[in-house]
Amino acid sequence: MEAATMAWTAAVVGAGLVYWFVWVMGAAEVKGKRAVDLKMGSITNDKVQDKYTQYWSFFRRPKETATTAASAEKVPAFVDTFYNLVTDIYEWGWGQSFHFSPSLPGHSHRDATRVHEERVADLLGAKPGHRLLDVGCGVGGPMRAIAAHSGSDVVGITINEYQVNRARAHNRKAGLDARCEVVCGNFLSMPFPDASFDGAYSIEATCHAPRLQDVYGEVFRVLKPGGLYVSYEWVTTSLYRGEDPEHVECINGIERGDALPGLRRQDEIASIAKEVGFEVVKEQDLALPPALPWWTRLKMGRIAYWRNSLVVRVLTLLRIAPKGVSEVHEMLYETAQHLTKGGETGIFTPMHMVLLRKPSEEAK
């Protein structure tokens, strides 16, 4: 009888833990994406494993993905695959803003994220009546923060159709769907008329472009003369040493796990901007002191990772989550380790800020 009681108690406790981890635990930042709702974007469950294998095969040697025109042309499709694989996991474990921000003493990660996004609106001088472009908008976390802070209308573009639908749903829920519009498209060839935006920004998004000139050129085209563009770029810093095997593995790990066709150097960004016609107004690495470490959140998230990993494995075993989700989750954890090391050693920053201006008609 005692053994039966113990077994029953263990079963109840186990069921309670599963209920807590799976049904109660929502996203880290904003409740609403539950573990049982995890999808792999528009990929059907029976294709997840194959798509993950194809992605990993393509990006296993990141810098080779853009060495020829033929391979560079494939990058957007694999970036689309990447975001099908990771979008729900990002929302579940990170929130609606898929980027980093410097830590703020006494403030939550959510507050730090909002401040980092609002800085963009302030740099642009955004105000009511302005029409802004979000280049690589994800599910629209920054878009909504910037629209709410500035009163501007924001149009976001993302290559991933699943993200478009998620962003629109979030916009409606936030009551911002009248001011926030989302378009599915490739930021290397945007479906917007020339000179149609008052300002533009990209937050850790243009790193997916094989050639930065191509996306900067498109932003230049759609901006009105005199319009400002601010971008937070993922780059290697002057501390990176290509002859150091540990440095190389760290950067390759970041590239492999984030669908990047090779990170650019910090000292390249301004010259590329000038090459397409921009004036460089300001350039600053927002990760440098007095800013506090942006990677703190990754280190604090290790316990959450183990919890989430257990949940994902259980859901996969129960066939609630598709086969392949565990591998994707593991890839993201390994990438987080490389990102942390890149931050701690100072060889990588995800927030090299450039503020650019398209010359006015009078300046031509």
HSE-CB of 229 using CA atoms within 13 angstroms: 33
Mean pLDDT computed over every residue of the chain: 89
CA gap 103, 259 in Å, rounded:
25
pLDDT at 225 over 70: yes
- Exposed e or buried b per residue across 231-248, where buried means at least 16 C-beta atoms within 10 angstroms of its C-beta: bbbbbbbeebeeeeeebe
End-to-end CA distance of the chain: 90
pTM value is 0.89
Summarize the confidence of residues 45-62 as an average pLDDT. Answer: 88
Residue that has been written with the tokens 């694989």 in this structure: 85
Contacts of 142 (CB under 8 A, 6+ apart): 97, 99, 117, 120, 134, 201, 203
Residue in this structure with the two tokens 């979030």, named with its chain if needed: 170
Question: Would you give the DSSP letter of residue 292?
Answer: B
What number of residues does the chain have?
A: 364
Residue 278 near residue 356 (C-beta atoms within 8 A): yes
Q: Is the pLDDT of residue 252 over 60?
A: yes
- The confidence score (pLDDT) of residue 362 equals 55
- Residue spans of alpha helices (H) in the chain: 2-18, 48-59, 69-93, 109-124, 141-150, 161-174, 212-222, 245-257, 269-275, 296-300, 302-317, 325-345
One-letter amino acid for residue 303 of the chain: I
Q: How confident is the model at residue 299 (pLDDT cuts 50, 70, 90)?
A: confident
Task: Give residue for tokens 């280049």.
Answer: 135
pLDDT at 318: 79
pLDDT tens track for 259-279: 999 999 999 999 999 999 999
Instruction: Return d(Cα 198, Cα 236) in angstroms, integer.
Output: 30
Please state, in angstroms and rounded to a whole number, the distance separating the CA atoms of residues 253 and 62: 9
Q: Tell me the per-residue pLDDT of 150-165, one tens digit each, with 9 for 90 and over.
A: 999 999 999 999 999 9
Structure tokens at 71: 């391979």
Q: What is the pLDDT of residue 25?
A: 47
Answer with the residue of higher pLDDT: 128 or 45: 128
Residue 93 amino acid letter: G
Residue 137, CA distances (Å) to 97, 175, 203, 284 in order: 9, 18, 8, 22
What DSSP designation does 39 have? -
CA atoms of 258 and 271, how far apart (whole Å): 25
Is the model's pLDDT at 84 over the cut of 70?
yes
Contacts of 247-253 spanning 24+ positions with Cβ under 8 A: 247/345, 247/347, 249/338, 250/338, 250/341, 250/342, 250/345, 250/347, 250/348, 251/338, 251/342, 251/347, 251/348, 252/61, 252/62, 252/63, 253/334, 253/335, 253/337, 253/338
- The tokens of 301 are what? 């998230």
Q: Which of 16-20, 225-229, 257-261, 308-312 has the lowest mean pLDDT?
A: 16-20
What does the pLDDT average to over 217-244?
A: 98
Q: How many CA atoms lie within 13 A of 54 on its CB side?
A: 15
**How much of the chain exceeds pLDDT 70, in percent?**
87
Return the structure tokens found at 133. Answer: 């472009």
| More confident: 232 or 65 | 232
Give percent of the chain with pLDDT exceeding 90.
Answer: 68
Res. 194: pLDDT tops 70: yes
Phi then psi for residue 134, to 5 deg, are -100, 110
Structure tokens at 145: 């923060």
52-79 exposure pattern, b = at least 16 Cβ within 10 A, e = fewer: beebeebbeebeebbeeeeebeebbebb
